[in-house]
Structure 1
Amino acid sequence: MKPAHPSLLSRISLAFGTFFSILSDGQFAGRVQALRSGEQRAEPSAPAPAPKPVVVPLREAAPDGALQLLGLLQREARFIDFIQEDVAAYADADIGAAVRVVHEGCRKVLHDHFTISPVRDEAEGSRITLPAGFDAAAIRVTGNVVGQPPFHGSITHRGWRVVETRLPRLSGSHQLNIVAPAEVEL
Structure 2
Amino acid sequence: MTDQPSLSFFARLWLALVCFWRIWLDRSFAQAVLPVRQADVAGRLPTGAPVAEPTPAAPPAPPPVVAVPPEREHASALQLLAMLQREGRLIDFLQEDVAAFPDEDVGAAARIVHEGCRKLVRQYLTLEPVLPQSEGDRVQVPAGFDAQRIRLTGNVAGQPPYNGALKHHGWVTTAVTLPSTSPAMDPRVLAPAEVELS
Q: Could you say whether these structures have the same fold, taking a TM-score greater than 0.5 normalized by the shorter chain as the test?
A: yes
1:149 aligns with 2:123: no
Where do residues 94-133 of structure 1 align in structure 2 (5 Å cutoff)?
Answer: 94-133=105-144
> TM-score normalised to the size of structure 1?
0.66
Asked which structure has the greater CA Rg, the reply is 1
Q: Which residue of 1 aligns with 2:29?
A: 55
Q: Structure 1 vs Structure 2: percent identity of aligned residues?
A: 52
> TM-score normalised to the size of structure 2?
0.62
1:71 aligns with 2:45: no
Q: Give the whole-Å Cα distance in 1 for the aligned partners of 2:107 and 2:181.
A: 34
CA distances 1:129-171 after superposition (whole Å, capped 9, x unpaired): 2121011110000000112211111111110000011112232
Q: How many residues align?
A: 133
Q: Which residue of 2 aligns with 1:173?
A: 184
Cα offset, 1:82, TM superposition: 0.8
Q: Give the whole-Å Cα distance in 2 for the aligned partners of 1:171 and 1:135.
A: 36
Q: Give the whole-Å Cα distance in 1 for the aligned partners of 2:140 and 2:168.
A: 15
Q: Give the whole-Å Cα distance in 1 for the aligned partners of 2:27 and 2:155.
A: 25
Cα offset, 1:69, TM superposition: 0.9
Cα offset, 1:53, TM superposition: 9.9
Cα offset, 1:90, TM superposition: 1.1
> What are the ranges of 5 or more consecutive residues in structure 1 without an aligned counterpart?
1-51
Q: Give the whole-Å Cα distance in 1 for the aligned partners of 2:127 and 2:152.
A: 22
SS at match of 1:70: helix
Q: Is the 8 A contact 2:138 2:165 kept in 1?
A: yes
**Aligned pair in 2 of structure 1 residues 130, 147: CA closer, same or farther (>3 Å)?**
same
SS at match of 1:55: helix
Q: Give the whole-Å Cα distance in 2 for the aligned partners of 1:130 and 1:89.
A: 44
AA of the residue aligned to 2:29: V
AA of the residue aligned to 1:130: V
Q: Give the whole-Å Cα distance in 1 for the aligned partners of 2:117 and 2:132.
A: 24
SS at match of 1:100: helix
> What are the ranges of 5 or more consecutive residues in structure 2 without an aligned counterpart?
1-25, 38-69
1:185 aligns with 2:192: no
User: Which of structure 1's runs of 4+ aligned residues deviate more than 4 A?
Assistant: none
Where do residues 12-51 of structure 1 align in structure 2 (5 Å cutoff)?
Answer: none
Cα offset, 1:114, TM superposition: 0.3
AA of the residue aligned to 2:102: A
